Amino acid sequence: MNAASVEAPPEIDEFDLVGLTPIASELVKPPRVAESRIHMECRLRQIVHVSERPGGGSLILGDVLRFHIQLELLDGYKIDPHQLKAIGRMGGPTYVRTCDRFEMQRPKWNGE
């Protein structure tokens, strides 16, 4: 994930650059990453330019057209977070592992 974030020139094949394997998508033109355990095929909806300043950027909104999920990640109709072993980006060079999880039930509206 981090290696593929390099701002390489457009003529550079980033799959080759970082040693990943492209596989054909079913509904969109860009290929998927074979090594990924979950894929989403998306269509661009909108780009919101947040800031041109250093550290600024753009918010990209899209519609998910199709999910591809390895079956061993599923627990019924939900993704098992223990099997997924997700890593998230916090901002800048900071990342986090999702190994300290807890559940919190949403409150129910009682009409008052």
pLDDT tens readout for residues 75-84: 999 999 999 9
pTM equals 0.76
pLDDT tens readout for residues 28-66: 999 999 999 999 999 999 999 999 898 788 999 999 999
The helix/strand count (H/E) of the chain reads as 2, 8
Q: The dihedral of CA 88, 94, 97, 103: what is its sign?
A: negative
d(CA 74, CA 36): 15
pLDDT, mean of residues 13-39:
96
